[in-house]
Structure 1
Amino acid sequence: MTSPTRIRAVRGDGVTELRMLLSHPMENGLRKDAEGNRVPAHFITEVSVRHNGKVVLAAAFGPSMSTNPYLAFSIAGGAAGDEIAVSWRDNLGEARSDAVRIA
């Protein structure tokens, strides 16, 4: 299992800034290890971000994303104590969900 997703949610002037770092190796299946063997593909395919249960971002990722993808975007509104939840699933069926409260 991977490390928790690092999520920062900060309110300001009618919007909430969201920043998140997803912990994942994001192997594209083309790289070779020291012995010359291909490292199997292992990458995030779906990402979902929810604000109090409502989807505010749904994305499809692929093998060309970098290791530990970083996302940053803003949403309208948001109040202290609201929940921001991030979920992802990868090509091997692994999944992770993490949440924070807006400060």
Structure 2
Amino acid sequence: MAAPTIKSRIPAKAKKGEIIEIKAQITHDMETGQRKDAAGKVIPRKIINKFVVTWNNDIVTSGDWHTAMSANPFVTCYALATESGKIKLAFHDDSGEVYEQVSEITVE
């Protein structure tokens, strides 16, 4: 598997009190641990097991994911624009890796 990449759509600006839409997708095989390779060996489980969105280090939303998630998962969530700062997307996988992307937002 190539290194996961994150694609996101987060507005650069918002009006105070506006509800913004946050969209994100990560390229990840989401190996369930139930398949076998050509030699018949079980391919170890390696999935994104947690997704967290923070705004200036305050949690907006988080979720625990399980083996039923598809490869290259796509997620949409919403947040109330209260102050300018950083929105961070964090995808945690079974091996302990954390894949992050940070975007700046200006609230007027």
| TM-score normalised according to structure 2 size | 0.79
Identity %: 25
Structure 2 unaligned runs (5+)?
none
Amino acid at match of 1:64: A
Partner of 1:7: 8
| 1:18 corresponds to 2:22 | yes
Q: CA deviation at 1:93?
A: 1.5
Cα RMSD after superposing both structures? 2.2
Partner of 1:99: 102
Amino acid at match of 1:30: Q
Q: CA deviation at 1:98?
A: 1.2
Segment of structure 1 superposing worse, 23-32 or 7-16: 7-16
CA distance in 1, matches of 2:54, 2:3: 20
Partner of 1:67: 71
| 1:29 corresponds to 2:30 | no
Amino acid at match of 2:89: V
Partner of 2:42: helix, strand, or coil?
Answer: coil
CA distance in 2, matches of 1:3, 1:100: 18
Partner of 1:93: helix, strand, or coil?
Answer: coil
Q: CA deviation at 1:4?
A: 3.0
Structure 1 unaligned runs (5+)?
none
State the aligned residue count.
Answer: 102
| TM-score normalised according to structure 1 size | 0.82
| 1:52 corresponds to 2:66 | no
Partner of 2:88: helix, strand, or coil?
Answer: strand
Partner of 1:85: 88
Partner of 1:41: 45
